Amino acid sequence: MVFTTRTCPDGCSTSYAAPKANTVHLRQHRPAPRRYAYVKMRPESAPRAVGDAHSITLPSAVDARVQELNLQLALTPTPPAAQNSDISQLREQLGTLTTLLETQQRVIDKQQALIDQLRASVTRTKETAPVPPASVSAPSLGWNSKLSPFESQRIGIGDRRLLGLYDARFHSTASGATPKDYRVLPDRIILVRHAESEGNVSNLAYTTIPDSQIPLTARGHEQARKAGMKLRKYIEQKNDQNYKLFFYTSPYKRSLQTYESISSAFAQTNITGVQEEVQLREQDFGNFQDAAGKEREKTERLRFGRFFYRFPNGESGADVYDRITIFEDHMIRDINAGRFGSNSNLVLVTHGLALRVFLMRWFHWTLAQYLCVHNPPNAEPLILERVPNDTDAQPGGAVSWMHTKSLYRLSDESMEVLRGCTEEMCTTSHAPRFLTSSQEEEAEEAKRGI
């Protein structure tokens, strides 16, 4: 019997003989290819939710190798015994890559847990942020379709400017205008006018002695020593024995002598340093001063204006204001940079007019307010105390948006010494100030030299 072989439509081969009676039709099928499990891959470009436990994006090299192994296994028919070792190696490599996938998934899960923890921390911080006073009309903190995304973001971080309020964090020199840590601020800033000098006793001293070389009188030395003892008693009542002092002083002789007598009241271990500052010097009234000529100039100053009159070869009050402004800006940056640290006291030994201008610049006095204030007595300390409490000093508290100058207030005892200074003038506020009728009268009298 002759058989013929042909291929059926379903892919099998068929053997048959010529059609005769009782012909037997035989079909022989090839075995179907073996099927294997696949590792389902997600393309790298496909979006994936963070922390999705069933969606993993692999590096392209790993992805390509897994696909290659799957393809090889799928297209390989039932191998002869000689090829079993190659298939075992492929399966071993596939198992290794599967283990790598599982390890990467565990790393992703840990990262997602950390992200959730950070989000919860941010939420708690926002919930504990200070709420604006009820009297202030604040924008709604919820969703407001009228606000732009940028404005909504600024409200979310507590931008006080949106409430029409001052926020020092957006100052042009914010990095130096606000402290990063409340603990770096000195406990107090102490201003001292030099003790009694020869020039305070007689103006004739200026006719033969340069202003920078005018010394203290014997009474002045005693005043300075008493000022040192008074300061030490005051500080030790406020601080423990580990307090520190740093001195800034005018280079004029009477100021240096005052510093020496004040510092002698303290142990050397409490004094961390002293620095001469030319910007703290007295107003320059000219060179050697002719007594009669200087009287004529002072009379002319009353007609022109005490603050803006510039003495020949000398300065005006406005000139002193400019250099004191530069000094204060540098000192604030040193304070906020942690140069002095906590439990410290800054002592500035300077002159009467320079001291008043310092306070004018610090507390933002108007010119009329400045003209109402008289020079303090010789060697009488004026103390600016740090005022924020622990709540204000916490992250997100008032200290975070207040300028460093706003964190100090002139003490009640110092206000009594500084004649013409009111309580309202002894703190920093960025709200408009208005003079009372009595202050306006005093300012006019000061302008006329009364």
Catalytic residue numbers read 194, 282
Phi, psi of 26 (to 5 degrees): -105, 140
What's the distance, CA 230 to chain centroid?
Answer: 35
What CA–CA distance (Å, rounded) separates 44 from 64?
A: 11
| Pairing of the two strands 408-410 and 344-350 | unpaired
Cα 400 to Cα 123, 135, 174, distances in angstroms: 19, 21, 11
* Amino acid identity at 62: V
Q: Which amino acid is at 327?
A: F
Radius of gyration of the chain (CA): 42
Residue 239, Cα to own-chain centre: how many angstroms? 27
Site of tokens 């280079």 = 251
Instruction: Tell me how far apart the alpha carbons of residues 369 and 433 are, in angstroms, rounded to a whole number.
Output: 10
- Say if CB 306 and CB 446 are below 8 A apart: yes
Decide if 411 contacts 385 (C-beta within 8 A): yes
Q: Which of 396, 357, 334 is nearest to 125 (CA)?
A: 396
